[in-house]
Amino acid sequence: MQTTLKDKVAFDGVGLHSGKPARLEIHPAPAGHGIVFRRVDLSPAVEIAALWNNVTLSPLCTLMDNGQGVTLSTVEHVMAALAGTGVNNAVVTVDGPEVPILDGSSAPFVAEILAVGLRRQNAKLRAIRVLRPVEVRSGEAFARLTPADHLEIDFQIDFADAAIGHQEKVLDMANGAFLRELADSRTFCRASDIDVMRENGLALGGTYLNAVVVDGADVLSPGGLRHDDEAVRHKMLDATGDLALAGAPLLARYTGHRAGHAMTNRLLRALFADPTAWTWAEVDSDLETRLPGAGVADYGPLAGLSHPMPVAAE
């Protein structure tokens, strides 16, 4: 069955790239509504459905575009939280051009969603079943979808910095795996890239408190890493959010090698451009147990995901 939140949840912070203050609220929505973002700082408010064909290419984040000049950036972490907790219908309001980064992970979103709880709706849920392999490439990087009876993510990354290096992880996303394995993993960057990003108008809101910053073998962010392989886990978190823009749960194995937001979106575009590569699947009681959000209510409020935010020195 489809689900929504029992009540609204709210978050205040700054945009990672814009550096501008931002307030985000997730509101319940009726069955069949899907996930829709609403820019409430505009008059009248502008809505953008959280779908793959409303994404435009942007460096280092997922950028939604209504096709008429209104955009909303860095939606991937809240989309991952909604997918990982099994929320199918919601209105996500934002009072600016970018979703707040919070601690750089999905954990704050997940914690508040679980705290308020989910409501099952009297409407059947459909999933997207991948029928044959679909792949996109760019140099050594590639992303691929292959048939599976649940969502599985297989990701590999390679960075010169020894603090990251080569990392790979495979995860069956069923039954709360997102909460246990990925939700608290933070966005990351190399110290050597910060000046370049800021010269290009990016990472203006980034700090050591909302991103993992590495410099060679050193982790510069306070408290170090939450996981030895936090970088690849965060890439898998990003992929979860970007794949959620399919508009329904995916039954597929996603393989990413040095892939990013733009490549995952290209992959969804390639999938939906070929009507022989996918089909709708009705979610019965058996299939429901294999979806990412199945059973997450059993984790209870916060689910151990409430990492205290480090306090910046004055």
**pLDDT tens digit sequence for 63-98:** 999 999 999 999 999 999 999 999 999 999 999 999
Residue 309 pLDDT level (bands cut at 50, 70, 90)? very low
Q: Write down the catalytic residue from 17, 77, 150, 261.
A: 261
Section 143-167 average pLDDT:
97
Q: Which CATH number describes the domain made up of 3-296?
A: 3.30.1700.10
Do residues 31 and 25 lie in contact, with contact meaning Cβ atoms separated by under 8 Å?
Answer: no
Give me the percent of the chain exceeding a pLDDT of 90: 82
Q: Quick one: pLDDT at residue 298? A: 61
Q: Which of 29-38, 150-159, 191-200, 270-279 shows the lowest per-residue confidence on average (mean pLDDT)?
A: 191-200
Predicted confidence (pLDDT) per residue in 157-203, tens digit: 999 999 999 999 999 999 889 999 999 999 998 888 887 877 777 77
Q: Is 77 a catalytic residue?
A: no
The predicted pLDDT at position 277 comes to 98
**Residue 115 token pair:** 């705290």
pLDDT value at position 197? 79
Domain ranges of the chain: 3-296
CA separation for the pair 284, 270 (Å, rounded): 27
